[in-house]
Amino acid sequence: MGEQQLLSQHRDFIHTFFESLGGTAKENPHLLAAAIPVVTTFSLPAILNALGFAATGPVAGSLAAAWQASIGSVPAGHLFALIQSISMTTGSALAIGAGIGLVAAVSILIGYIVTHELAKNGELRGMIEHEIGKFGETVAATAVSIGANVGQFVNSPEVQARVEDVRRTGEAAVQGASWFFGGLMQGKF
């Protein structure tokens, strides 16, 4: 399977995944509330890492490195310093992700409970269902947008160049190993 076909399949999968996620959120907001803490707990460290905030410091060539370079000497208390500090302490990123998720989940659950209580009033029920539907549509549209953006990122020239670098490095490693073991078998070493 070619690299382009593989990347296309990943893009299609991501797009479908986020479309499904949006539909589920629209139909079951309580499931969304339950999933948010789990997702944010584990996604915050991954997001920080993807931006270049690593446990050892900013990754060369990353957005974090570019931001740091634009600041120069980073003063204590600066947002950059805070984010880098969080990423250098695995527990901090997980705890902050969990905290964000719990606040979001509690907010959604309170809204869900309040709307159900208000929905007992027949006049408000239609309005509430309409608003919940609009919220679900917004989540679905956001999910589709995220999927499209991930697809664009995966197909970006930068990512494609890195994929090609990895492929060339793999080929060079195989050639080097073949040369070494061939020489070893022939008694050249």
Place of tokens 């997702």: 39
> Does residue 166 sit in the same domain as residue 78?
no
Q: Does one domain contain both 144 and 166?
A: no
* pLDDT per residue of the chain (189 residues) written in tens, 0 to 9: 555 665 566 666 666 766 776 676 667 766 767 777 777 777 777 788 888 888 888 999 888 888 888 888 888 888 888 888 888 876 677 777 777 777 777 777 777 777 666 666 666 667 767 777 787 777 777 777 776 666 676 677 877 777 787 778 777 777 777 777 777 677 665
Instruction: State whether 86 and 169 are in the same domain.
Output: no
Range of the domain at 85: 3-155
165 shares a domain with 180: yes
Angle between helices 3-27 and 29-50 in degrees, nearest 10 = 140
pTM for this predicted structure: 0.41
How many domains does the chain contain in total?
A: 2
Pair 10, 87 in one domain: yes
Say whether both 114 and 149 belong to one domain: yes
139 & 72 share domain: yes
Q: How many CA atoms lie within 13 A of 138 on its CB side?
A: 7
Asked whether residue 36 falls in the same domain as residue 79, the answer is yes
